[in-house]
Amino acid sequence: MARSLVLSLTLAFLFIGMVSARDWNILNQFKGLKPTTTTSQNGVASLKGPNLNGYCESWRVNVELHNIRDFTVVPQECVWFVQQYMTSSQYDDDVERAVDAAILYLGKTCCEKKKCDGMDAWIFDIDDTLLSTIPYHKSNGCFGGEQLNTTKFEEWQSWGKAPAVPNMVKLFHEIRERGFKIFLVSSRKEYLRSATVENLIEAGYHSWSNLLLRGEEEEKKSVTQYKADVRTWLTSLGYRVWGVMGAQWNSFAGCPVPKRTFKLPNSIYYIA
């Protein structure tokens, strides 16, 4: 009798555990709790409470996986988390891992300086790929909590003071020295060309093959279509696009599909 009772209780606890695990959701953990709200010096409100770190990290990761798309702003309760990540050593480490993966991939390509025929290409985006926009977000205190003010942002870009993204100068020259033709394909507007060139050189980049920015006709297209059209154009000229690197999924979407893509982390904004 005693053994039967123990067995029944054991099965009951297991059943309760299974139901609890299946029904568990991080958002449910806020029920009955009182998260605290803090306001930064720039007036950005942030909600902090138990399990919020996990929720915001989950949101950020799903942005990087392209499961979450077309968002206009970062959820207010996660602005502080995105800022913390994008200004952390973890962000630098994540970029470095992407750079390591790209260098490893380069060793598997058929392009070597002595053998290249001049038609092997690599594409880089610029903002948050070669040049960091973190100083802009720091000075404006938004980190995705507000829709990007394009007028203000372009004014900042025109100053040409953006620093290099960590580890990217090293990768840029590693690719260039292997004999690849480097094409810089950015959604920046054509009138920012001089400021962009000066900024790139100041940050340590030089000797690219072409810098493509959006003129009036390109501005009528989505950024995704514009970048896909550039790849189509390069392919029509006979270039073999071995790799594309960017911080937004619009760098890779559409046809033709590059041989390999490398995504850098950026959950501050989304541009289609």
Average pLDDT over residues 114-141: 89
CA–CA separation, 200 and 202 (whole Å): 5
Q: What is the pLDDT of residue 111?
A: 56
Residue 214 has pLDDT above 50, yes or no: yes
The residues pairing with 122 across neighbouring beta strands, listed in sequence order, are 182, 243
**3-class secondary-structure state, position 188:** strand
Q: What is the pTM of this model?
A: 0.79
- Respond yes or no on whether the N-terminal peptide bond of residue 256 is cis (omega within 30° of 0): yes
Task: Say if CB 167 and CB 95 are below 8 A apart.
Answer: yes
Which run of H or E residues covers position 224? helix 223-236
Distance, C-alpha 38 to centroid of its chain: 27
CA–CA separation, 85 and 60 (whole Å): 9
pLDDT tens-digit profile of 138-164? 998 688 888 888 999 999 999 999 999
The model's confidence at residue 4, banded by pLDDT at 50, 70 and 90, is: low
Least confident of 39-48, 64-73, 186-195: 39-48
pLDDT tens-digit profile of 88-99? 999 999 999 999
Identify the CA nearest to 210 among candidates 171, 239, 248: 239
The model's confidence at residue 269, banded by pLDDT at 50, 70 and 90, is: confident
Residue 32 has pLDDT above 90, yes or no: no
**CATH, domain range 80-263:** 3.40.50.1000
- Nearest 5°: CA angle at 247, between 246 and 248? 95
